[in-house]
Amino acid sequence: MLNVLNIEKNQSNKQNYVDASNVQNNSIATTSEKPFLLEINKQTLTLTDSKFIHQNKTLETTIQCVGSLYNQSCLYHNLYYVDNAFMILTVKGKHLPKYSVRTDAFILWPTTPNKRVFDSYYDLEKFVRTTIDPRILPSVTLYFGQPWHFNIGHALFDGLYPGYVALIRFSPRHLQPFRILAGVDDCNDCWSEDVYSRFGGLGLLRLSVLNKMSKSNWFMFEELVMGSVTFCQR
């Protein structure tokens, strides 16, 4: 059974991250997961209160890209993440567009997810359901990197602005709640993170936190948009 990340609020209004399969039993995460989950809690990552199910009809990664290669943006359905890296799961013979994108205004090389190819969809589905059993991050996630987010000008116009423009390219997702996955440095008093967490409605997740959680653990983004930070160039 696929896991879905969900939230349960306790009486002190703090947020505990629990596995969706345990929500009805009001149980919390295992002891080994608590440090990572508490670190996420600090970033006010919030999801909607509805009961999540996997909305996509397939577990295979599909990709839609728009724009020239210089300022390309891509929408990924069922994009996986494990051991600090995005992973595409696809079937032999399936055509995919060129999916490299720029995710950071100050890094010139593109982000290119890894790819794993299966002989058949049956093999892919069996791998997902019985081998990796990923945790699902439902709804839309917007990913971008911003190394200088302590400066609100860079945080907004070199990070959030080009990211949101990319989201507009896949309308109407920019009009719906989304979460932000941000490649930002550690900063205890950067109020730009509060702006990020509130802007999309579903909160902020630091890439560094996801990297810690993804050590030998698989995650799946139902929908993820990234590229192109070249929109920030003035």
Q: What is the pLDDT of residues 133-170, one digit of tens each?
A: 999 999 999 999 887 777 787 787 888 888 899 999 99
**Strand 62-66 to 3-9 pairing:** unpaired
**Higher pLDDT among residues 230 and 70, named by residue:** 70
**What mean pLDDT is reported for the chain?**
78
Picking from 37, 39, 44, 41, the residue whose alpha carbon sits closest to that of residue 22 is 37
**Strand 3-9 to 15-19 pairing:** antiparallel
Residue type, 155: A
In sign, the C-alpha dihedral spanning 138, 143, 147, 151 is: negative
User: Alpha-carbon distance 112 to 114, whole Å?
Assistant: 7
Picking from 132, 111, 138, the residue whose alpha carbon sits closest to that of residue 45 is 138
**CB under 8 Å to 89, separation ≥6 — which residues?**
59, 60, 61, 78, 80, 116, 118, 124, 127, 128
Any idea which residue has 């995460």 for tokens? 29
Domain positions in the chain are: 51-234
Q: What is the distance of C-alpha 64 from the center of its chain?
A: 16
Per-residue pLDDT band for 56 (boundaries 50, 70, 90) equals: low
Its pTM surpasses 0.85: no
Per-residue pLDDT band for 20 (boundaries 50, 70, 90) equals: very low
DSSP run (H or E) holding 36: helix 34-41
Is 90 exceeded by the pLDDT of residue 185? no
Is 60 exceeded by the pLDDT of residue 108? yes
Please, are residues 200 and 176 in contact by the beta-carbon 8 Å criterion? no
Per-residue pLDDT band for 92 (boundaries 50, 70, 90) equals: very high
Please, are residues 145 and 104 in contact by the beta-carbon 8 Å criterion? yes
